[in-house]
Structure 1
């Protein structure tokens, strides 16, 4: 793995998958002696939580909760 001119490296796919990292996730570098550990950022949310937060409050069916529950239960 080579260090690029701007100090960038590519995290290998198997490492990203193991850590559950996705585009936009934050990572932190922890230095211990001559070893650098890459860890998920403390404030980094999982991809599912990111998607859920973007969608929260966007749905509008025009139905009440009771009407939706009746529809899901098959009640008339």
Structure 2
């Protein structure tokens, strides 16, 4: 059980944070339902995720840097 502070803050119990994967700095959403409210972790897409694998190569870092510099 949690109590609301004078600032409207509530501590989410650790067991619930662990189950929902909530960490410091994460945003949560309170969704109204017929039975009350549901707490959900706000999941945002990582802006870098779409680039994952874009630079996949078997080249070493040194070889890749030489290629990017236009060296052969």
Fold agreement, TM-score > 0.5: yes
Give the aligned partner of residue 15 of structure 2: 14
**Cα root mean square deviation, aligned:** 2.5
Q: For residue 24 of structure 1, report the CA deviation from its aligned partner.
A: 0.7
1:29 paired with 2:27, answer no
CA displacement 1:15-74 (0-9 Å, x = unmatched):
0000011101111010113411110113276xxx8xxxxxxxxxxxxx5146xxxxxxxx
Which runs of no fewer than 5 residues in structure 1 stay unpaired? 50-62, 67-76
User: What's the TM-score, normalizing by structure 1?
Assistant: 0.54
Larger CA Rg, structure 1 vs 2:
2
Q: Give the number of the structure whose residues are more often helix, by fraction.
A: 1
- The higher-RCO structure (CA 8 Å, 6+ apart) is 1
Aligned structure 1 segments of 4 or more residues deviating by more than 6 angstroms: none
Structure 2 unaligned segments of length 5 or more: list them: 50-60, 65-72
With normalisation by structure 2, the TM-score equals 0.57
Q: How many residues in Structure 1 have an aligned counterpart in Structure 2?
A: 51
Partner SS, residue 29 of structure 1: strand
